[in-house]
Amino acid sequence: MDLIIPSGGLIFWQLLGFLALLFILIKFAWKPMLASLAERESSIEEALQSAEKARNEMSNLKSENEKLLQEARIERDVILKKAHEASVKMIEDAKTEASKQGAQLIANAKAVIETEKKAALSEVKNQVALLTLEVTEKLLRKQLADDKAQAALVDQFIKDLKIN
């Protein structure tokens, strides 16, 4: 066997063996392997992309939340402000009402007092008039108990009449 002259027999077997190996490997080894590798690579690629997407969504959601929170805060402030105003107004109203009612009560009381006073006064006047009459009657009875006194009074009256 020569060193640098290829021998036909070996070329024949090598060609046969290598081609057989090539076809078997292509069909049963390289195709499934390359397909799984490609599949794995694409699945990794997809996973990375979906992670990126999820991250974006997360940050979107976060900003959305932030926005909602901000809105809620503003709304709360508005509500609080309104409530405060309402309570102030209520207190104010109540005060006004109270003072109004107080004034009314005082006025009523005054009117009652006035009426009572008038009634009391007229009562007193009546009493005084009655007492005066009685006293006058008693005085007159006493002074006109004798005839002389009576004649004097009559004279008096006549005198007065004459003057008139």
Partner 1 sequence: MSRKFLALSLLFSVLFLHSFGEIFAAEAGAKEGKEDPTSFIMHHIKDAHEWHFFNVGHTHITLPLPVITYASDRGIEFYLSSDFQDPETHKFGKEFAHNGIYIDEHEHLGRVDEGSIMDFSITKNVAMMFIVIAIVLYVTLSAASHYKKNGTAAPKGAASLLEPIVIFVRDEIAQKAIGPKYMRFVPYLLTLFVFIWTGNLLGLLPGAANLTGNIAVTCTLAFLTFIIVNVNGNKDYWKHVFATPGVPAALLPIMVLVEFIGLFTKPFALMVRLFVAVTAGHIVILAFISLVFIFESYAIGILSTVMVTFINIIELLVATIQAYVFTLFSAMYIGGAVAEHAHDDHH
Q: Kindly list the residues in this chain that would bind partner 1 in the complex (CB under 8 A).
A: 1-15, 17-22, 24-26, 28-37, 39-40, 43
CA distances to 13, 14, 20, 153 from 9, rounded to whole Å, are: 6, 8, 17, 196
Residue closer to partner 1 by CB (options 1, 163) is 1
Identify the helix (H) or strand (E) that includes residue 40. Answer: helix 31-143
Centroid of chain to Cα 159: 94
CB of 55 to partner 1, least distance (A): 24
CB of 22 to partner 1, least distance (A): 5
Residue closer to partner 1 by CB (options 9, 141) is 9
Total residues found in the chain within this entry: 164
Quote the CA–CA distance of 161 and 154 in Å, as a whole number: 10
Residue closer to partner 1 by CB (options 43, 143) is 43
CB of 34 to partner 1, least distance (A): 6
Token pair in block for residue 2:
């020569």
CB of 41 to partner 1, least distance (A): 9
Quote the CA–CA distance of 164 and 151 in Å, as a whole number: 20
Residue closer to partner 1 by CB (options 21, 112) is 21
